[in-house]
Structure 1
């Protein structure tokens, strides 16, 4: 479950960056609004999957309310998913290192 969430988190974060730094300049500087339509819809669907998987992972892994809030905030900030990925990677590796 955690690996699926980590993957969606990275893909959603990348789609957010594409929306902010490629699609929006294409719309506002070069007059191509269709870029935001396509990337925006994709990003929206990925964000819904991100929230759903985050809630499932939180339930399964017993995340604190504070960490759940941080995860949700990471999904709304540019580059937040990459910071979150570092934290989740540690959490994924710790059980393997303890054996």
Structure 2
């Protein structure tokens, strides 16, 4: 008796969501560091200039990928809304992605 090979634990949509969640959090961290340099120490505004633009792109990308992943992976409405909300507070996308991975929301749902 043979067994079928194990299905991939994460789909392309799940992988894309995990990647963009990391990028979004990284750009948030860069923007926060840039804000400290600009407003805290008053040394330079280069960090805000650079990471502000990068984070804007990452934020838009995260929203798009979250909508696509939510549709492709058939997330319940609460999961989709939570993913969208997580982009607003700094660095929330990382723990959310880890929690979704543990709950199996990044893997294909069984029929």
> Runs in 1 of length 4+ with deviation above 3 angstroms?
92-95
1:39 aligned to 2:55?
no
Gap regions ≥5 residues in structure 1: none
CA RMSD of aligned residues (A): 2.0
Which is greater in Rg? 2
TM-score, length basis structure 2: 0.75
The answer to which structure has the higher helix fraction is: 1
- List per-residue Cα deviations over 1:36-55 (Å, max 9, x = no partner): 01110001001111000000
Structure 1 residue 79: Cα displacement: 2.7
Gap regions ≥5 residues in structure 2: 1-12
Cα contact 1:19–1:40 (8 A) shared by 2: yes
Cα contact 2:73–2:107 (8 A) shared by 1: no
Could you tell me which of 55, 67, 76 is aligned with 2:88? Answer: 76
Inter-partner Cα distance in structure 1 for 2:26 and 2:46: 19
Cα contact 1:8–1:49 (8 A) shared by 2: yes
1:11 aligned to 2:23?
yes
Number of equivalenced pairs: 95
TM-score, length basis structure 1: 0.84
Indicate the larger mover: 81-90 or 59-68.
81-90
Report the equivalent of 1:24. 35
SS at match of 1:59: helix
